Structure 1
Amino acid sequence: MTDLLYSEEEEALRAAVRDLLADHCDAPGVIARAESDAPHDRAAWKALTDGMGLAGLLVPEAQGGQGATHREAAVVLEELGRAVAPVPYLTSAVVATEALLDCEADDLLAELASGRTIGALAVGLHTAPGAAFPSVRLENGALHGELTGIADAAVADVLLVPADDGGLYAVDRDAVTITPQTSFDLTRPLATVALDGAPGRRLGDAEPAVRRALRTGAGLLASEQLGVADWALTETVRYLKERKQFNRPVGGFQALKHRLAQLWLEVVNLRAAARNAADALANDDEDLDVAVAVAQAYAAPVAVHAAEEALQLHAGIGMTWEHPIHLYLKRAKADSIAYGTAGAHREALAELVDLRAP
């Protein structure tokens, strides 16, 4: 049986990423960026990629990457979730990279692995693995159409666009029109991508590449949601130990102890589900689809519950814009519909294990 505990190397990676994010993604800085027209943190992205080479974790060494596994990528995403870091790691280093791995696009893979090129899969963030996804028209060798809900499109250098001929095309950012959409999560902006005769280079077949990318995105998103939930629990416990009422710590009241104990159990279970999904992805397990569906069916409600409890138990200060809790709640809410809702994953799980409703 696979050991789901963190290895020494994974713990060392966690410590290094956490230290880096403490320097680049402190709460006041992230809040300030969320208010600006440029929410992405280029400095943090450069430090993660140039400094640590994390953009290429999933890319084999022969193709310019680090040759690591999804377990290491999951650790990075946990820490990015804890910091609600406004960087396109999930969309570029995971989802777009997985699509390119399926297409064996070595030249573009090497560029994404370096971090100097950012990629985005032009499929709506809400799309679940296995679900139908829109495509654009291919006419006379050029691409025409509009795609909505594309995460991190505004910062991408290259877009991976599915077309109606069944192909997946690489399209340069300058060849399309990107219009920002209102996004609930201010740290992961969405956009509409319009193509009007845009040239593209065919990379491979769209369906298997998109399916693989979305499945990996859903599986590793659970690790990001774990990071969000773990931060919410840790910070709430810390605050309730310091905050006093009637000359005693608020955390000493039994009713609040019960709520925190329940939340701790949920977060521990989420960690197990997220680690199982990451390990299944790393080993291409025969029950991979089940592991991903279980992780996403459980992760979304736990992350949202943890953020909601943090908001309520921080009382008045939690309602202020200056406190970062609102960023975590928005990330948790947005993640709850990313790559399929919990309900969609429960339905998929029922099909996989043949426990469909009568």
Structure 2
Amino acid sequence: MDFALTEEQELLQTTARDFLQQECPITVVRNLETDEKGYSPEIWKKMADLGWVGLTFPEEFGGIGGSFLDLVLIIEEIGRAVLPSPLFTTTVLGGQLLMEAGTQAQQQEYLPKIAAGEWIMSLAFVEPNGLYDGNAIETTAKPGNEGYVLNGTKLFVENAHIANTLICVARTGPVAYREGSLTLFLVDPHTSGVSINALKTISHDRVYEVVFDNVWVPQESRLGPLNAGWPFLAKVLDHGKIALCAEMVGGAQRVLEMTTQYAKERVQFGSPIGRFQANSFKLADMATLIDGARFLTYEAAWRLSEGLPATKEAAMAKAYTNEVYRQATNDGIQIHGAMGFMMEYDLQLYFRRARALEANLGHSDFQREIVAQEMAL
């Protein structure tokens, strides 16, 4: 059984790491935390020029036609560098939804602009009830004026302030139909009735409350069939979970490297602290857990790349990797001592990022429920 990456994939991963080390040193990350945009348009354009933004798009739409596993390798390196960028919301969520549910005209309109780094998208899904569940959608879209009128509130909409297009999940049928009455809509965030309000988070990431107050959208803005948006969204959420896992694996790996190096250099009682069993065992466990998370992530990404169902595998990876990244940052800070929590030290960047990624698309217990359902329990 061969788990090795291909030569092309190894080269892709190495190229991504070299690029991020050069273009995104930790000083850039710190500056972006206080930047109004929250990302670097210059780095974003360079990522697009390298083909990352349209990596999984067909060549006819300006992409490269790469696999989702290829994209996961890049996202892992982005997690290692803790680079804030719109790649997750634009390529993984928005672009994938367009490929899954979009018409030829919609794909032709948006995918080339996304691949060129000229268009940013975001998904408006979760609501004030906080559930990443299609049954929990309360936002409505009712027919009106040869289009639809949207009303409702969405929370934790990433990059809404810079998005050119939002994909809104709304209910277009009776609540009793549950997930069978959901429809996806492409919405211009500058449309009358859309308001965007920043939310404060521990990780300083850019997430927003988006309110739709009698927002009219035309018929051609509907993405996919009426009342049949959930199957497309559910599949893309699997992609999203795996992408988040890749980012967490990259971050956890960097935490392990930073902490291991510190444990070798920090001397107490005449010996490097890494030689003390209390610390060495933590680091050994960290290395073991991260490898497990990586292989779960790669397996799920491979399944999606091969067109195989991966709902269970994506949930398994997310449940496990959530806890691996959290534990890695906890143990990293404990080994570093008080300096691990100092804002001047880099470890706190990963600690805070781990908490944001853990909550995104559902915490571990939510994922375990999905795994249990897939096991017919």
Q: Same fold (TM over 0.5)?
A: yes
Kindly indicate whether the alpha-carbon contact (under 8 Å) linking 1:56 and 1:93 is maintained by their aligned counterparts in 2.
yes
Deviation for aligned residue 1:204: 1.5
Q: Deviations over 1:263-322 (max 9, x none)?
A: 111111111111111111111224x12211211121100010001111221223212111
Question: What is the aligned counterpart of 1:277 among 278, 291, 300?
Answer: 300
Matched, 1:325 2:343: no
2:43 is paired with a residue of what secondary structure? helix
Secondary structure of the structure 2 residue equivalent to 1:336: helix
Higher mean alpha-carbon deviation, 114-123 vs 176-185, is at: 176-185
Contact 2:134 2:230 in 1 (8 A): no
Distance apart, 1:56 and its partner CA: 0.7
Question: 1:102 touches 1:208 (CA, 8 Å); kept in 2?
Answer: no
CA distance in 1, matches of 2:135, 2:44: 31
Q: 2:334 aligned with 1:336, yes or no?
A: no
Query: 1:199 and 1:63 mapped to 2: Cα distance?
Result: 28
* Cα separation, 1, equivalents of 2:282 and 2:364: 23
Q: 1:63 aligns with which of 58, 61, 64?
A: 61
Distance in 2 between the 1:129 and 1:14 partners?
33
* Contact 2:125–2:132 (8 Å) recurs in 1: no
Query: 1:119 deviation in Å?
Result: 0.6
Counterparts of 1:153 and 1:11, CA distance in 2: 34
- Look up the SS of the partner of 2:53 in the other structure: helix
- 2: CA distance, partners of 1:337 / 1:57: 26
Letter in 1 for 2:187: V
Which amino acid letter does the alignment assign opposite residue 302 of structure 2? D
List per-residue Cα deviations over 1:118-153 (Å, max 9, x = no partner): 111111396547664343433523433321211121
Aligned residues of 1:10 and 1:72 also touching (Cα < 8 A): yes
Q: Map Cα deviations across residues 300-352 of structure 1 (whole Å, 9 max, x no partner).
A: 00010001111221223212111121121111111112111111111111121
Q: CA contact under 8 A between 2:137 and 2:170: conserved in structure 1? A: no
Q: Is 1:181 aligned to 2:181, yes or no? A: no
Structure 2 CA distance for aligned equivalents of residues 135 and 210 of structure 1: 16
**Aligned positions of 1:153-302 closer than 5 A:** 153-165=160-172, 166-175=182-191, 176-186=194-204, 188-200=205-217, 201-205=221-225, 206-286=229-309, 288-302=310-324
Give the corresponding residue for 2:137.
Answer: 133
Contact 1:127 1:338 (C-alpha < 8 Å) held by counterparts: no
Partner of 2:158: 151
What secondary structure is seen at the aligned counterpart in 2 of 1:155? Answer: coil
Partner of 1:46: 45
The residue type paired with residue 244 of structure 2 is: L
In structure 2, how many angstroms separate the alpha carbons of the residues matched to 1:129 and 1:215? Answer: 13
Name 2:117's counterpart in structure 1: 115
Measure, in 1, the Cα distance between the counterparts of 2:45 and 2:286: 35
- Tell me the amino acid that sits aligned with residue 19 of structure 2: L
1:305 partner letter: Q
What's the secondary structure of 1:115's corresponding residue? coil
d(CA) in 2 for partners of 1:39, 1:300 = 24
Of 77-86 and 96-105, deviating more is 96-105
2:115 is equivalent to residue 90 of structure 1 = no
Q: Which amino acid letter does the alignment assign opposite residue 358 of structure 2? A: S
Q: Distance in 1 between matches of 2:262 and 2:133?
A: 38
Name whichever of 329-338 and 67-76 sits farther off. 329-338
**5+ long unaligned stretches in structure 1:** none
Q: Distance in 2 between matches of 1:129 and 1:265?
A: 32
Deviation string 1:231-286 (CA, Å, 9 cap, x unpaired) is 11111101111222233322122221111111111111111111111111111224
Structure 1 equivalent of residue 13 of structure 2:
14
- Count of aligned positions: 351
| Residue number in structure 1 paired with 2:176 | none
User: AA paired with 2:37?
Assistant: A
Distance (Å, rounded) in 2 between the aligned partners of 1:116 and 1:155: 11
More deviation, 250-259/296-305? 250-259
Is the Cα contact below 8 Å between 2:139 and 2:150 reproduced in 1?
no
* SS in structure 2 of the partner of residue 16 of structure 1: helix
Equivalent residues of 2:125, 2:154 under 8 A apart: yes
Q: Which runs of 5+ in 2 are unaligned?
A: 173-181
Counterpart of 2:165, as a letter, is: V
Q: Distance in 2 between matches of 1:346 and 1:162?
A: 24
Question: Equivalents in 1 of 2:142, 2:251: separation in Å?
Answer: 40
Relative contact order (C-alpha < 8 Å, sep 6+): which is higher? 1
Q: Would the aligned equivalents of 2:151 and 2:214 in 1 still touch at CA under 8 Å?
A: yes
Provide TM-score, normalisation by structure 1: 0.92
Paired residues of 2:39 and 2:84 also in contact (CA < 8 A): yes
Name the SS for the 2:83 alignment partner. Answer: coil
State the match for 1:124 in structure 2: 126
